[in-house]
Amino acid sequence: MTALSPTSTVLLAALAVLGIAMLLCVIRICRGPSLLDQVLAFDCLVLDVVGAVLVLSVLLGTALFIDVILVITLLGFVGTIALAAYVEGSLVD
């Protein structure tokens, strides 16, 4: 068994923390007391996923995930704006 470098250890710890944060966001989405809390948890989940993909990209030493990050960020932004407009009532006549 080979020893991990300190950089790899820190990146793996960051992935573990981001995984816990994603789990907490999913719990808040499922059990949120209000729709606004669920929208905020969705936005936080998107940011956690982007962070995890970035950390994974650094851990693997590749820049191939940059396009994936851009698509996830764009979809998360559009989804948050759509949910906020729905809560505000401007999408429903």
Q: Write down the pTM of the prediction.
A: 0.85
Instruction: List the structure tokens of 73.
Output: 């960020």
Task: Indicate the pLDDT class of residue 1, thresholds 50, 70 and 90.
Answer: low
Instruction: List the structure tokens of 63.
Output: 């820049």
83 domain-assigned: yes
Q: How many domains does the chain have?
A: 1
Residue 50 structural domain: 6-88
56 domain-assigned: yes
54 domain-assigned: yes
15 domain-assigned: yes
pLDDT at 93: 58
Helix (H) or strand (E) holding 78: helix 66-88
44 domain-assigned: yes
Q: pLDDT, tens digit, for every residue of 9-42? A: 999 999 999 999 999 999 999 998 988 888 889 9
